[in-house]
Amino acid sequence: MGAPAQQVPRDLTNAEALRLLASVRFGRIVFARYALPTIRPVNHIVDDDAIVVHANRGAAMSPERQVVAYEADTIDERTRRGWCVIITGTAEPVTDPDEIERYRTLLRPWLPGPRDHIVRIEPDIITGVEFVDPEDQSPP
């Protein structure tokens, strides 16, 4: 059996990228800690185009608004098919008690450890790419 065909990238629309992001339960948030980039895996949901994450306070995110990146992907090592979505935007802690309760029921933590910090990311830039066979470049 030969190697899988070489895949080609296909840019995703913002709507396609958010739909794919909503189809998975965790990703990686990138934020500044001591002026250096820090990456942590977190659970998430997509809520009205915002990404809401359930993070541990130990992640040491600033309690203030800050610019972050968020990434999630699904790539099959055998077929080399999949996708990657990267969101860049402003993150801030969710403080409204009703919203906190709502998000706690929706997030359903999957990653281990305490998740006591809920953060909402409002996207400014949405970048998505799907890796497809050269002959198959139809939308996902």
CATH number at residue 103: 2.30.110.10
Residues 6+ apart with CB under 8 A from 124: 88, 89, 90
Q: How many domains does the chain have?
A: 1
Q: Indicate whether 140 belongs to any domain.
A: no
Question: 15-54, pLDDT tens digit by residue?
Answer: 999 999 999 999 999 998 888 899 988 889 999 999 999 8
DSSP one-letter code for 3: P
Average pLDDT, the chain: 86
- Compute the average pLDDT of residues 88-92: 95
pLDDT band at 1 (very low <50, low <70, confident <90, very high): very low
Q: Is 6 helix (H, G, I), strand (E, B) or coil?
A: coil
Q: Indicate whether 28 belongs to any domain.
A: yes
Q: Indicate whether 3 belongs to any domain.
A: no
**Count of H-run helices and E-run strands, the chain:** 2, 7
Q: Indicate whether 65 belongs to any domain.
A: yes
- Compute the average pLDDT of residues 89-112: 86
d(CA 138, CA 11): 11
- Compute the average pLDDT of residues 107-136: 82
In the numeric block, which tokens belong to residue 35?
């002026």
Range of the domain at 59: 9-130
